[in-house]
Amino acid sequence: MDKKKALLIVVVVLAVILVGASVLYKNLGDDIATEQLAVTETPAPENGSGETDDVAAPDFTVYDADGKAVSLSDYLGTPVVLNFWASWCSPCKSEMPDFNEKYLEIGDRVQFMMVNMTDGAQETLASALKFVEESGYDFPVFYDTELSAIMAYGVYSIPTTFFIDVEGNVAGWMPGAMDAETLQMGIDLIIE
């Protein structure tokens, strides 16, 4: 009988610890999420001309679900939300409903490029396509099967999101998952 009580106490204590950790993670994560959005500051001109140089977004080519090549430069003149993700990435999956909702709201004014890190090992085209289909997302998904986009942006962790203005310049970026409020802050950097 004592062993059963001891086991029950251990289970209850572990449950309390897990719930407490979850609540702390959620609350602390909400407090710092908006502070992680990095706004690209235009560097001071070195030539003293008074003109500034913008940070141009590197171009890349990825593929849509039909295998058609699509480049970032195809969207020059349109603000772009560029998100790098994978279906095995829990933080990526946690932010996708907010991206989908925002896409449905403003997708006619902002190009969403949800770029899947399709490395062929951890993430295959089949697993990514299955995830998108099962999730029912409406935003445009592209597949970085050659990892050229990941390399062009130096993405070392996912999710990572870049906000690119109509002139093709990076206005801001954020590593890690973001909430709807932070996503809106990034979008506000690139739309008029």
> DSSP letter at 133?
H
Average pLDDT over residues 165-182: 95
pTM of this prediction exceeds 0.85? no
Q: How confident is the model at residue 12 (pLDDT cuts 50, 70, 90)?
A: low
Between CA 163 and CA 167 the distance in angstroms is 12
Whether 147 has a pLDDT exceeding 50, the answer reads yes
- Mean pLDDT of all residues belonging to the chain: 83
d(CA 95, CA 88): 13
**Predicted local confidence at residue 45, as pLDDT:** 33
Residue 125 has pLDDT above 90, yes or no: yes
Read off the tokens for 184: 């809106």
User: What does the pLDDT read at residue 3?
Assistant: 72
158 Cβ neighbours under 8 A, 6+ residues apart: 84, 85, 86, 89, 91, 92, 117
C-beta neighbour count of 38 within 10 angstroms? 14
pLDDT higher than threshold 50 for residue 185 = yes
Q: What are the CA-CA distances from residue 66 to residues 62, 125, 147 (Å)?
A: 11, 11, 18
Distance, in Å, from the CA atom of 86 to the CA atom of 160, rounded to the nearest integer, reads 11
Question: Taking each helix axis from N to C terminus, what angle separates 90-106 and 180-188, rounded to the nearest 10 degrees?
Answer: 50
**CA pair distance 186, 25, nearest whole angstrom:** 23
Query: Can you tell me the distance from the alpha carbon of 44 to that of 51, in angstroms, rounded to the nearest whole number?
Result: 8
- What confidence tier does 14 reach under pLDDT thresholds 50, 70, 90? low
pLDDT in tens, 148-169: 999 999 999 999 999 999 999 9
Comparison of pLDDT for 94 and 42, the residue scoring more: 94
In angstroms, the CA 51 to CA 125 distance is: 44
Higher pLDDT, 10 or 133: 133
Q: Is residue 89 within 8 Å of residue 181, measured between CB atoms?
A: no
pLDDT tens digit sequence for 20-56: 545 444 544 444 444 566 665 443 334 333 344 578 9
